[in-house]
Amino acid sequence: MSRFGEVDDQYDPDELEQRVFEYWDDVDAYEQTVEHRSDGESFFFVDGPPYTSGSAHMGTTWNKSLKDVYLRYLRMQGYDVTDRPGYDMHGLPIETRVEERLGFENKKDIEEFGEENFIQECKDYANEQLEGLQSDFQDFGVWMDWDNPYKTLEPEYMEAAWWGFSNAADRGLVEQGHRSISQCPRCETAIANNEVEYEDVEDPSIYVKFDLAEREGSIVIWTTTPWTIPANTFVAVDEDGDYVGVRAEKDGEEELLYLADAKHEEVLKEGRYDDYEIVEELSGEELIGWSYEHPLAEEVPDHVDGEGVFEIYAADYVDTHGDGTGLVHSAPGHGEVDFERGRELGFPIFCPVGGDGVYTEEAGKYEGQFVKDADDEIMADLEDNGALLASGTVHHSYGHCWRCDTGILQIVTDQWFITITDIKDDLLENIEDSEWHPEWARDSRFRDFVEEAPDWNVSRQRYWGIPLPVWTPEDRDDDEDMIVIGTREELADRVDQDVDPEAVDLHKDTVDDLTITEDGTTYTRVPDVFDVWLDSSVASWGTLDYPSDDSRFDELWPADLILEAHDQTRGWFWSQLGMGTAALGESPYTEVLMHGHALMPDGRAMSKSKDILIDPHEAIDRHGRDVMRLFLLSNNPQGEDMRFDWDGMQTMENHLRTLWNVFRFPLPYMRLDGFDPQQTSLDEVDDALEPLDEWVLARLQSTKAEMTAHFEDFRQDKAVDALLEFVVEDVSRFYVQAVRERMWEEDDSASKQAAYATIYRVLRESVALLAPYAPFISEEIYGTLTGEDGFDTVHMEDWPDVDEHWVDEQLEEDVSLLRAIEEAGANARQQAGRKLRWPVPRVVVAADDERVVEAVERHTGLLEERLNAREIELVSPEDRWGELQYSAEADMSELGPAFGDRAGQVMNALNEARIDEPSLEALEDAVADVLEDDEELEESMVSFVTQTPDDIAGTAFGTDGDDRGVAYVDASLTADIESEGYAREVIRRVQEMRKDLDLDVEERIALDLEIDDDRVADLVAERTDLINEEVRADERRAVEDGHRKEWDVDGVTMEIALEALAAAEASE
RNA sequence: GGGCCAAUAGCUCAAUUAGGUUGAGCGCCACUCUGAUAAGGUGGAGGCUCUCGGUUCAAAUCCGAGUUGGCCCA
């Protein structure tokens, strides 16, 4: 880009961004930026790999934008940043998509299709999906190492998982065992608890009577899963609960039923009993040891058998006041808590259900039926056996497979675990080694989760995943004598077959057939693959390709920063901690930034499947990448959700447009004057700087300081607020407006050069500060400002440091006071009906404190200019200006303690009081009715407020909500003021007409002016020179063919005509 | 059902650390200004600070119980 080259009149995000993309490509901007920092201190960032399904949604976009802003910031701070992106490419979600694509219904279809083929399809699909994400992220302007992402399906990465797992095994933390797990009967695999999605469904709700074996009567249980009754092993009660025996009558027959006291009424109603009577009151403890008969003993002849089964036991999962009857049907072969209690009690674990949800032979007459389909038959059989007390249905939430939406079943199967419960203390200790933003996420949430985390079931009975690197002796499949392989090298060394460690693809189809023979024993591989959460859990070393590449691990590990949404507390934040601790004994990260989710504008969660979403591509189409990023990044990243908001997007676009206009305003002048920022640096023009130049430079310093502090605090949102406030409020609305006339001067001047140097510095540093947020517009502005003198890209710039030379707190405070006075003056003008165009003879500033006096004294000229006042009159705090009345404003922190519950009443009286003297005595008189005899007002309780006289308009001014004084505008008219006022009215209208004709700023004109009112005409004539100069009129004469318009100026008719002189000459 | 977080103007959010007359930006309405400006300025409308209780002279703020939303867990 050439320095001060022509730029677009209008900020056009789309064109600009395309231009910048091409430019980045031309100059290898990313590569240069990385290279530029290659000698810097290392910063190890680890990207949480998004799952490769579909395209980027708003949440992912927010996440990657946040990562981008911090990585760019860190680079500008000099760090050599690891920025390898990652993709999570294995797992059930992809398998089910591929199954859908191929029209498969279950595992048999896959087996027929062939494992190898199926794995290839999954690989292709995952790679395909990755492309969409890659191009989206790049399109959002995110700078990461896109040529070299880590992919969980690559051998180097899979090896990293093997290595981690084998490390855990070496530390004795890998174990195979029987557990109650959530099984998806369609996918025929265990799924993790956090993969279970709960949905409202209608299920059977039955009350079943279990006949007591050694005494009269039956106990009543309740269940929504009749299909688990065949596996019943015991019944649980609450030891401390209250139970009753009820003699109930229905259709003339009497029964003795036992159940919880709190539930008996409800249950008997369900059973439609005619009448009943409580005949016994017992504690749960008294029920313990009672034995009963299995209600389906005949239908399931091979039902569980063993010492102590079919008896009542205490269990802490029983509640006599909740759902059910206070007596809980317990089947250790199914439910998780049942399983735990069953094991404590030493019972055999009976589960007559296969991984496909079909009853096995052990289920007797139900063999071969899908369990849910058998519900009806089981209920019918219970009815026939006289065991069904009542049956109905219930709406409740029930777990479903996250991928295929099939209802899950709790069954007991053999699975492989990392026994993280053995290292709970280490885990809790390692939590302390990481700092979280926000802190409560770690201390209130993450720690709770870790404390209660069960062993990690890492095995899945599927195909598309990292195979478990576990080989077991041929004749057994448990964890005795297992061999766990840690690397490809080790695999090649130990297996019986020939394997090339460089070339081997570690997927299931290639390792399934490998065997190991050692000491005369042949080992075969456990056929399972890893839970996909294990894949990403090793990302902190997988990112570095460790262990196959060990060149960086020692220096970089653990990660300096990870940054994800709050759902990862139970996801990646946890899985990494678990794996890091199990494999290496340490937390794999030291800093966590946790953001929230992107919500719909109305606060609902976004959902792709329900088509409730804002597509980032639409946001880009409407406003551009910089705007979208700015919007996202202006939200608090610390744990809180963000509502998407189109108005907010528009506001950001407006801000960028303002920046664009600020940037392009001085360019024509700088070009015209041949301004060279290298020669005319700030140092060169130091002496010529005017107070406002020094002020805007001071503001720049405090903006930098503020931004850096916010960044260090992981509050990029506050940082960008500060920057935009500076650019929009201070630079655009104040500085540029004030400095305009200096730039218009036709002659060169030191003052003009000073203004150029100032705005040049301000713009150049501002775009550096903006660059991490809005990399495109920053790049274009930077390029135009620097030409050949800067880096090839703004992103190679250092983060701007505070330059002590320009820090000037006094000046900042002065100007904030002047601006407050100016604002009040504008208000007062409006009240007086006097436009800013018309001068006023004087403005009286009544200062409340010395600080205001100082500010006004130091900058009287500036204030006159800004207020368009001929004179500024200053009234010191100790003096007072005549003709004023006063009222009082109460300080509640003083009134409260002094007046107690009457403070409010006193406050109101003070507000309403009107007095001539601002004295406590006068005030006390005025509010005498609310004061009691012994009460007095104190100086500290009130501050006096002036009340404006009628002829003069006054408005209070203040800073940060504190009153600092009053600005009174004297709006009286004199002939001289009217003369200038009307002249300015003429000037403005001529300017507008010049604009109508699209005349160049320099273009000379001939002007024809006729004013109906003689008095006004004379007044305007007094300012002929001023008018001619301002509108660049060289001739005053009749204009025949020019642009002609009639204006009404406050009731005075003016006819104005003009033509361009060059055009007039050409036509003659 | 449990844990955590949030709830303040039509919208997005401050103010909560340390209790003291609730603020900004955007949007809306009116007026106004404009040779960098899809801008700017002034004013206005708009708030039982989610509800109910408690502590206190005084609560958006502290405490308790709810309601709604989000995340996580069951």
Query: Residues A434, A592: contact at Cβ < 8 Å?
Result: yes
Identify residue A608 by its one-letter amino acid code: K
CA of A793 to C1' of B73 (A): 48
Q: What one-character-per-residue DSSP string does A449-471 give? A: HHHH---EE-EES-SSSPBP-EE
State the nearest residue by CA to the C1' of B42: A827
Q: With 0-12 CB in 10 A as exposed, 13-18 as middle and 19+ as buried, what is A242?
A: middle
User: Nearest residue to B37, CA vs C1'?
Assistant: A661
Distances, alpha carbon A190 to alpha carbons A94, A173, A478, in Å: 16, 20, 18
Six token digits for residue A1016: 């006004």
Centre a 10 Å sphere on the Cβ of residue A551 and count the other Cβ atoms it contains: 10
CA distance A724 to A711: 15
pLDDT, residue A948, reads: 63
The answer on whether A608 is annotated among ligand-binding residues is yes
Could you tell me the distance in Å between the CA of residue A826 and the C1' of nucleotide B41?
Answer: 8
Nucleotide nearest to A571 (CA to C1'): B72
The answer for residues whose C-beta is within 8 angstroms of residue A436's C-beta and 6 or more apart is A442, A443, A446, A591, A592, A594
CA of A699 to C1' of B60 (A): 33
Element (H, E) at A220: strand A218-223
**Angstrom distance, A800 CA to B35 C1':** 34
pLDDT of residue A193: 72
Question: Phi-psi category of A252—alpha, beta or left, where left has phi over 0 and alpha has psi -120 to 50?
Answer: left
**Closest CA relative to residue A366, chosen from A298, A293, A299:** A299
- Which nucleotide lies nearest residue A989, CA to C1'? B34
Rounded Cα–Cα distance for residues A1059 and A1036 (Å): 11
Separation of CA A697 from chain center: 33
d(CA A202, CA A216): 35
Nucleotide of closest approach to A910 (CA, C1') = B21
Nearest to A918 by CA among A879, A962, A958, A887: A887
Give the closest nucleotide to A636 (alpha carbon vs C1').
B13
CATH code for A202-389? 3.90.740.10
> Nucleotide B57: nearest residue by CA–C1'?
A900
**If 0-12 CB within 10 Å is exposed, 13-18 middle and 19+ buried, where does residue A6 land?**
exposed
ipTM exceeds 0.90, yes or no: no
Q: What is the pLDDT of residues A47-63, one digit of tens each?
A: 999 998 777 888 899 99
Q: What is the pLDDT of residue A942?
A: 76
- Rounded CA-CA distance A126/A124 in Å is 6
Residue written as token pair 């056996």: A385
Sign, CA torsion A684/A685/A687/A692: negative
Using DSSP, how many helices (H) and how many strands (E) does chain A show?
A: 40, 38
Task: Give me the DSSP letters along A901-953.
Answer: GGHHHHHHHHHH--BSS--HHHHHHHTGGGS-TT----GGGEEEEEE--SSSE
Contacts of A131 (CB under 8 A, 6+ apart): none
Phi, psi angles (nearest 5°) of residue A451: -60, -35
Q: Residue A203 in contact with residue A228, Cβ under 8 Å?
A: no
Instruction: Report d(CA A938, CA A1014) in Å as an integer.
Output: 61
How many other C-beta atoms lie within 10 A of the C-beta of residue A449? 12
Instruction: Give the position of tokens 């949430």.
Output: A445
According to CATH, the superfamily of the domain at A42-173+420-454+537-596 is: HUPs (3.40.50.620)
Amino acid A634 CA to nucleotide B61 C1' distance, rounded Å: 25
Residues of chain A short of pLDDT 50, as ranges, are 1067-1068
Degrees, nearest 5: CA angle A720-A725-A731: 120
**In which region does residue A848 sit, left (phi positive, over 0), alpha (psi from -120 to 50) or beta (all else)?**
alpha
In this structure, which topology does domain A645-803 adopt according to CATH? Answer: Isoleucyl-tRNA Synthetase; Domain 1 (1.10.730)
Task: Give the closest nucleotide to A650 (alpha carbon vs C1').
Answer: B26
Q: What is the dihedral of CA A581, A585, A589, A590, to 10 degrees?
A: 130
Burial of A878 (0-12, 13-18, 19+ CB in 10 A): exposed
* Among A553, A549, A563, residue whose Cα is nearest residue A583: A553
Can you state the angle between helices A625-633 and A775-786, rounded to 10 degrees? 120
Nucleotides of chain B touched by protein CB (<7 A): 3-6, 10-14, 20-21, 25-27, 32-43, 57-58, 69-74
